[in-house]
């Protein structure tokens, strides 16, 4: 590896061998005047990484280095960068670029920019394919690089970059707060963040899960009550209750959605941030009629929402539940294989980057 011309990362070369990581070199995009080079210290392991490397979400450019919950130190900043200086501890999430000129970008909706570029597996205008955070370094635009508050540890900050923002943004846009009843469906990597944020924002927060063993954690994280969907007629006592259900599960294709929708208050929303490989269950238009409910979804969040989330986490000392693994071929393999079968409480953070990439600048 000869930085800054090449970076090094743990990559997948075949979606049929989706956990067979190899340490390979790759070329980053050309350095721009608003770019920042980051020497990575930690990266969260996201369900998106697994959906990508298995081919569950479709074809991907190979070889690919996944990871979009990146924390590290800025080691080089472009001439026009004004928000970060060399030596700052910063984070990068699931988006690394946008046009910053369209109406979406100019209304703090850059996460919906038609020209947005994902942190890994997406082409830049020059044809370079973006590569993610299971790597020695990452090159990011300053608008998608975020200062990390001092009192949030690197290991805790990493999963906030995607899982944190993905759940925080829709809650804020739904005006979660005092007087609102919010249900978090699916208590895993995304869902446990959902409980943390909804409770911290002041909403009356409920946890919905098919796993009764999640009850203790859900209540400790801030849920007022735990609702187990394994119980017969579980939805009946909760009819017309929730203003907003944040669906963090990625098994929605197996759900009886009309049951879940029946628990929504009039004009309530069933909002998806868990993104399964399979289509949603078939529904009739009239299924939405009894309570005037709706179904929707969202994609990560905006820069202002990321900064607001980090400020809230810092001020209220909010922490996810994580496990750490040293990054290596074996460490990456263990992490993605366990995430694939939900054998993690509740998020992995890869650490030990200096050992994995000795002698890097």
Q: Is residue 322 helix, strand or coil?
A: strand
308-351 pLDDT tens trace: 999 999 999 999 999 999 999 999 999 999 999 999 999 999 99
Q: Is the pLDDT of residue 210 over 80?
A: yes
Q: How far is C-alpha 318 from the geometric centre of its chain's CA atoms?
A: 17
Q: Once rounded to an integer, what is the mean pLDDT over residues 49-74?
A: 97
Confidence tier at 118 by pLDDT (50, 70, 90): very high
pLDDT band at 276 (very low <50, low <70, confident <90, very high): confident
pLDDT at residue 25 is higher than 80: yes
pLDDT (0 to 100) of residue 2: 79
The answer to whether the beta carbons of residues 30 and 126 sit under 8 Å apart is yes
Euclidean distance between CA atoms 116 and 285, whole angstroms: 32
- Return the CA Rg of the chain: 20
Q: Where are the alpha helices (DSSP H) in the chain?
A: 47-53, 154-157, 163-173, 189-200, 215-221, 257-261, 303-316, 329-340, 353-356
Q: Which residue has the tokens 């919950």?
A: 69
Percent of the chain exceeding pLDDT 90 equals 97
Mean of the per-residue pLDDT values of the chain:
97
Which token pair is 86? 């060399």
Tokens encoding 284: 């009739």
Q: What is the pLDDT of residue 206?
A: 98
pLDDT at 180: 98
Residue 1 has pLDDT above 80, yes or no: no
Which tokens sit at 225?
A: 């009550």
Residue 251 phi/psi, 5-degree rounding, is -120, 30
Q: Average pLDDT in the 157-178 region? A: 98
110 pLDDT higher than 70: yes
* Residues whose CB is less than 8 angstroms from the CB of residue 17 and which lie 6 or more positions away in sequence, other chains included: none
**Could you report how far apart the first and last alpha carbons of the chain are, in Å?**
10
Tokens of 150: 């001092």
What pLDDT was estimated at residue 96? 98
The structure's pTM equals: 0.97
> 73 φ, ψ to 5°?
-110, 135
Give the residue-averaged pLDDT of 60-71. 98
């Amino acid at each position: 590896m000869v930085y800054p011309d090449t970076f090094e990362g743990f990559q997948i070369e075949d979606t049929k061998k989706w956990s067979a990581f190899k340490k390979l070199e790759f070329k980053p995009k050309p350095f721009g005047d608003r770019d920042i080079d980051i020497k990575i210290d930690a990266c969260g392991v996201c369900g998106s990484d697994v959906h990508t490397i298995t081919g569950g979400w479709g074809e991907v450019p190979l070889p690919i280095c996944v990871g979009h919950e990146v924390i590290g130190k800025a080691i080089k900043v472009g001439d026009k960068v004004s928000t970060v200086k060399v030596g700052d501890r910063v984070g990068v999430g699931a988006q690394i670029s946008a046009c910053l000129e369209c109406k979406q970008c100019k209304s703090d909706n850059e996460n919906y920019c038609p020209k947005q570029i994902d942190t890994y597996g997406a082409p830049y205008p020059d044809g370079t394919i973006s590569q993610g955070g299971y790597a020695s370094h990452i090159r990011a635009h300053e608008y998608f690089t975020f200062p990390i508050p001092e009192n949030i540890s690197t290991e805790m900050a990493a999963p906030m970059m995607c899982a944190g923002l993905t759940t925080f943004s829709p809650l804020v846009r739904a005006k979660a707060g005092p007087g609102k009843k919010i249900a978090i469906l699916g208590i895993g990597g995304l869902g446990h963040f959902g409980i943390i944020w909804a409770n911290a924002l002041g909403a009356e927060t409920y946890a919905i899960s098919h796993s009764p063993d999640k009850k203790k954690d859900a209540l400790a994280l801030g849920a007022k009550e735990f609702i187990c969907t394994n119980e017969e007629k579980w939805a009946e006592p909760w009819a017309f209750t929730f203003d907003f259900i944040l669906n963090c599960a990625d098994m929605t294709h197996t759900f009886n959605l009309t049951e879940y929708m029946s628990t929504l208050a009039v004009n309530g929303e069933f909002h998806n941030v868990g993104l399964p490989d399979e289509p949603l269950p078939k529904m009739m238009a009239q299924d939405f009629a009894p309570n005037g409910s709706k179904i929707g979804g969202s994609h990560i969040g905006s820069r202002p929402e990321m900064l607001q989330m980090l400020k809230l986490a810092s001020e209220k000392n909010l922490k996810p539940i994580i496990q750490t693994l040293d990054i290596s071929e074996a460490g990456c393999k263990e992490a993605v294989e366990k995430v694939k079968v939900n054998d993690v409480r509740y998020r992995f953070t890869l650490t030990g980057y200096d050992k994995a990439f000795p002698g890097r600048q």
